Amino acid sequence: MNVSTVFSLIFVLILIFLVTERYHRSVAALLGVLLTIVYGVIYGLFSSQNLLHELASLIDPNTVLLVVGVMILAEAVARTGLFEFAALSIAKIIGGDFRRISLSFILLTVVFSTFLSNITSMIIIGALTISLAKQFEVDPTDIILSEAVMTNVGGLILLISSIPNLIVSAHTQIGFTEFFKTSFPLAVLISLVTIPIIYRKIFHYCTIEHEIDVDPWTVVDDRGLFYRAVFVFMCVILGFIFIDYLKIPIGLISIGGAIAMLVLGGQEPESIYSEVDWGTVFFLISFYIIVGGLEKSEVLNIFSENVAHLLSFRPDLASVLNIWVCGLSSAFVDNIPITMTLIPVMEIISGIIGVSVKSLSWGIIYGANLGGNLTPIGSPSNIIALGILKKEGKNVGWNKWFEYCLPLVLMQLFIATAYVVFLSVIS
């Protein structure tokens, strides 16, 4: 059995464990890491002398620091009452209808994910939603899932809104203004279609308005600590927004904010650490190694060759097929390696079928951003959302995800497909 077959089977095995929920996702991913290491050494993909160094090179420390830092920061800030204060304040301004408040949070998710990472947006909005749901004593599951779906829509708006956008733009010379002019209308269209459907899905929540007459300050025990938390939190948010000017890795901004909050907050660190979703952290780290094994074993290259054959078979459908190939792939594999793998493929296909690389690139961008929501493991924001719900005792499995999210995401991909066809017609 050749090396690519072995690593393909390892990946399929891990996916089966994840889908069937036979083991916790972090345990399934760690098993995948173990098999990747063992067979990587056997087949000579890893050197036993430099094994730790080679494994570490597969992990993106910036993303890991971002996740850990934001989780610690969110937990420390939440204990000051800031999120509950914000949720009650928004509720008082909008009115006591949980549906209207939920809609405002979903729209806020799109805005946040335009400027911040999907992970950061999901953690912040998720914390606000949980706080509000507790005030209304309702199940936040559908709201959190809706927010997870909309994080990737915000990733379409600006060139800086997601990593796949940056990668593709760097290779195809798409400028900031061109990107915005092309993608912003699609993001608006998807939002206008998706949000009303979501609104109807959550219609059963609080059909009777609840009067919000609680003073938001009642949830704040220490105003001094509260103001320090606001200061640190806003500094981190501004750091994320102006990261291009600061020239500081986003992970360092995140972990720096977490440390500042621990120092200025004076809270017991052990109790905060105990509330961090370390299972999610282990899952993300493990999946980096698993995907690295797929790259080293040429599985992703073989996949790329098949994609090239598929796209060259029907040149007139190249842009459309590109969305679905990238979207379906991003449902199981991180969209960053998928994007980086498909770019050289598109450059080859462009020469074969006579379609510009820039035209094909929009399919990569839209497929990579939207396709991650097809499965619970396809996007980090999905994993974060499920972790937030699990912490509240709400275990959302693949069946629930497919039942609620899959129709929404498929609709979004079809809208993106029609939009790409429209772009090809007018270009």
- Give CA separation, 43 vs 39, 40, 47, 299, 372, in Å: 6, 5, 10, 14, 31
Q: At what angle do helices 141-154 and 357-371 cross, to 10 degrees?
A: 160
Q: Is the pTM of this model over 0.85?
A: no
- As a whole number, mean pLDDT of residues 22-33 equals 87
CA 127 – CA 131 distance, rounded (Å)? 6
109-161, pLDDT tens digit by residue? 888 787 766 777 788 888 878 877 877 778 888 889 989 989 889 888 887 67
Only one residue has tokens 């320090």, namely 228
Residues 6+ apart with CB under 8 A from 63: 119, 251, 284, 380
- Give CA separation, 154 vs 116, 117, 188, in Å: 9, 10, 9
| Domain boundaries along the sequence of the chain | 61-162+175-277
220-250, pLDDT tens digit by residue? 888 899 999 999 988 988 887 787 788 888 8
Residues 6+ apart with CB under 8 A from 284: 63, 64, 67, 380, 383
Q: How many contiguous H segments (helices) and E segments (strands) does the chain have?
A: 22, 0
Q: Is 332's pLDDT higher than 50?
A: yes
Q: At what angle do helices 98-115 and 118-136 cross, to 10 degrees?
A: 170
Residue with more model confidence, 393 or 202: 393
CA 387 – CA 148 distance, rounded (Å)? 12
193-197's contacts with Cβ under 8 Å and 24+ in sequence apart are 193/411, 193/412, 193/415, 194/149, 194/150, 194/153, 194/408, 194/411, 194/412, 195/103, 195/106, 195/107, 195/150, 197/408, 197/411
CA 374 – CA 338 distance, rounded (Å)? 15
Q: Is 80's pLDDT higher than 80?
A: yes
Residue 337's pLDDT band (cuts 50, 70, 90): low
State residue 387's pLDDT score: 87
State residue 207's pLDDT score: 52
Tokens representing 112 are 């946040």
- As a whole number, mean pLDDT of residues 64-88 equals 82
346-367, pLDDT tens digit by residue? 776 777 666 777 777 888 889 9
Residue 47 — left, alpha, or beta (φ > 0 → left; ψ -120 to 50 → alpha)? Answer: beta
Q: Is 320's pLDDT higher than 50?
A: yes
State residue 210's pLDDT score: 57
State residue 203's pLDDT score: 63
Residue 44 — left, alpha, or beta (φ > 0 → left; ψ -120 to 50 → alpha)? Answer: left
pLDDT > 70: what percent of the chain?
89
Going by C-alpha positions, the residue among 85, 241, 273 that lies closest to residue 158 is: 241
State residue 193's pLDDT score: 92
State residue 208's pLDDT score: 46
- As a whole number, mean pLDDT of residues 404-426 equals 88
State residue 212's pLDDT score: 57
Residue-averaged pLDDT of the chain:
82
373-408, pLDDT tens digit by residue? 888 878 878 888 888 888 888 888 888 888 888 888
Cα–chain center distance at 179 = 20
Going by C-alpha positions, the residue among 40, 104, 76, 418 that lies closest to residue 236 is: 76
- As a whole number, mean pLDDT of residues 24-32 equals 88
153-198, pLDDT tens digit by residue? 988 888 767 778 777 776 777 777 788 888 999 999 999 999 888 8
Task: Decide: helix, strand or coil at residue 44.
Answer: coil
- As a whole number, mean pLDDT of residues 68-77 equals 86
pLDDT > 90: what percent of the chain?
16
Widest CA span in the chain: 68
Residues 6+ apart with CB under 8 A from 200: none
